């Protein structure tokens, strides 16, 4: 059994869409492993347990491959695998089917290979040198970078639209509040209802999510709450807005943090012409145009006015001009905000 087939079988069991014989098979595994209470797992723990189970299957597969005389058998998980109660309830899924064990175990319930349904996962890989564009069944669009790949259930079947990404891609997701769109990487889960964002998840590198429009919810994949949405986010994750990003390193023991992108884009175009206007008014205009919160001391800026016209300057270049004119300074701080510091102006 491959990892993809393993995940598909368990997901169908969870979704209540098991094929003929599959539900009985999983439940028979449960009985044989002494888990009579059945398979019950909260969404928040599902990914962590799935990863542990697959590692166990891979380990047992390697062990079996080294023994040419091995016959079809069911391998019992080690004692350490049974300790957490939630894992014990799912231990049935850690069964290893070696050789023809599946057919031997339930020959009367498993459809023959010739009549099995076609594979339910569709995979695309960009082996070229240019970005490749894909349109999914729900009209969502994916711009896949060279050397990257993604896979999804045919027709985006299921209660959630799920895509698994390796590498980098830009997503333009069609709005469908009833069916959230989830992007899985090795480290993160990004949930959207309809928006544009970029995900970078190259092997051995930090994972990065950047939002262009709309809002997304980002969580660590391990222990992720798959029912979370940008409107109902989990306390373990963060919600990103346009011009915000998060960069997650699995080697750093720190929570997910959001920050500003390197070059924030104008989200609400406007004319930046000010004639002897209060500096506070200019800062408010920048906040509205870029969707960025700027903190400043209103009392110190009460007597500060400026005459200035901005054209194609970036947000930071505009702030540089104001800082030079006022002898002020600024810096980015937590949660993708900017702090503007000034000692004020004479009356």
What is the arithmetic mean of pLDDT over 94-110? 34
Q: What tokens appear for 119 in the block?
A: 């594979």
CATH of domain 127-260: 2.60.120.1440
pLDDT higher than threshold 60 for residue 83: no
Whole-number pLDDT of residue 23: 73
Contact (Cβ atoms closer than 8 angstroms) between residue 104 and residue 6:
no
**Given this model, what pLDDT does residue 245 score?**
97
% of the chain exceeding 90 in pLDDT = 56
pLDDT at 11: 67
Domains of the chain, by residue range, sit at: 3-115, 127-260, 272-341
- The pLDDT score that the predictor gives to residue 106 is 33
Rounded to the nearest integer, the mean pLDDT of the chain is 78
Q: What is the pLDDT of residues 273-294, one digit of tens each?
A: 999 999 999 999 999 999 999 9
Q: Strands 294-295 and 337-341: what pairing?
A: parallel
**Residue 29: pLDDT band with limits 50, 70, 90:** low
pLDDT value at 212 more than 90: yes
What pLDDT, on a 0 to 100 scale, did the predictor assign at position 40? 43
- Residue bearing the bigger pLDDT, 34 or 191: 191
Q: Which CATH class is domain 272-341?
A: alpha beta
Between residues 344 and 1, which one has the greater pLDDT? 344
Mean pLDDT of the region 93-104: 34
Confidence category of residue 50, pLDDT binned at 50, 70, 90: low
> Over the stretch 228-245, which tens digit does the pLDDT of each residue have?
989 888 888 999 999 999
Has residue 15 got a pLDDT over 80?
no
- Binned at pLDDT 50, 70 and 90, residue 17 comes out as confident
* 139 has pLDDT over 60: yes
Cα separation, 224 vs 238, in Å, equals: 12
DSSP assignment of 19-67: PTTHHHHHHHHHHHTT-TT-----HHHHHHHHHHHHHHHHHHHHHHHT-
Q: Do domains 127-260 and 272-341 have the same CATH topology?
A: no
Which one has a higher pLDDT value, 129 or 108?
129
Q: For residue 310, how far is the Cα from the chain centroid?
A: 37
Q: Which residues of 263-283 are buried (b: 16+ CB within 10 A; e: fewer)?
A: ebeeeeeeebebeeebbbebb
Instruction: Check residue 217 and give its pLDDT.
Output: 95
Contact 193, 229 (CB under 8 A): yes
Q: Is 236 helix (H, G, I), strand (E, B) or coil?
A: coil
């Amino acid at each position: 059994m491959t990892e993809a087939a393993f995940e598909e079988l368990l997901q169908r069991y969870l979704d209540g869409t098991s094929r003929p014989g599959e539900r009985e098979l999983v439940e028979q595994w449960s009985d044989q492993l002494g888990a009579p209470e059945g398979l019950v797992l909260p969404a928040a723990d599902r990914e962590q347990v799935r990863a542990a189970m697959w590692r166990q299957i891979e380990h047992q597969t390697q062990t079996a491959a080294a023994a040419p005389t091995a016959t079809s058998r069911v391998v019992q998980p080690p004692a350490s695998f049974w300790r957490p109660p939630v894992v014990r309830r799912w231990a049935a899924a850690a069964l290893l089917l070696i050789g023809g064990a599946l057919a031997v175990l339930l020959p009367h319930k498993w459809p023959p290979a010739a009549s099995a349904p076609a594979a339910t996962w569709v995979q695309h890989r960009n082996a070229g040198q240019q970005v490749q564009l894909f349109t999914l069944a729900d009209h969502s669009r994916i711009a896949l970078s060279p050397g990257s790949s993604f896979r999804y259930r045919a027709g985006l079947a299921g209660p959630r639209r799920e895509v698994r990404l390796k590498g980098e891609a830009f997503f333009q997701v069609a709005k469908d509040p009833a069916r959230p769109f989830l992007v899985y990487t090795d480290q993160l889960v990004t949930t959207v209802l309809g928006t544009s964002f970029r995900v970078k998840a190259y092997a051995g590198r930090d994972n990065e999510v950047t939002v262009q429009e709309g809002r997304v919810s980002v969580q660590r994949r391990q222990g992720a709450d798959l029912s979370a949405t940008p409107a109902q986010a989990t306390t373990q994750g963060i919600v990103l807005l346009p011009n915000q990003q998060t960069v997650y390193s699995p080697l750093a023991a720190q929570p997910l943090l959001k920050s500003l992108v390197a070059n924030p884009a104008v989200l609400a175009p406007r004319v930046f012409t000010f004639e002897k206007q209060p500096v506070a008014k200019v800062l408010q205009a920048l906040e509205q145009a870029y969707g960025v919160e700027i903190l400043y001391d209103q009392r110190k800026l009460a007597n500060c006015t400026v005459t200035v016209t901005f054209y194609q300057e970036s947000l930071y270049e505009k702030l540089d001009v104001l800082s030079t004119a006022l002898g002020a300074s600024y810096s980015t701080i937590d949660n993708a905000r900017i702090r503007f510091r000034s000692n004020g102006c004479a009356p």
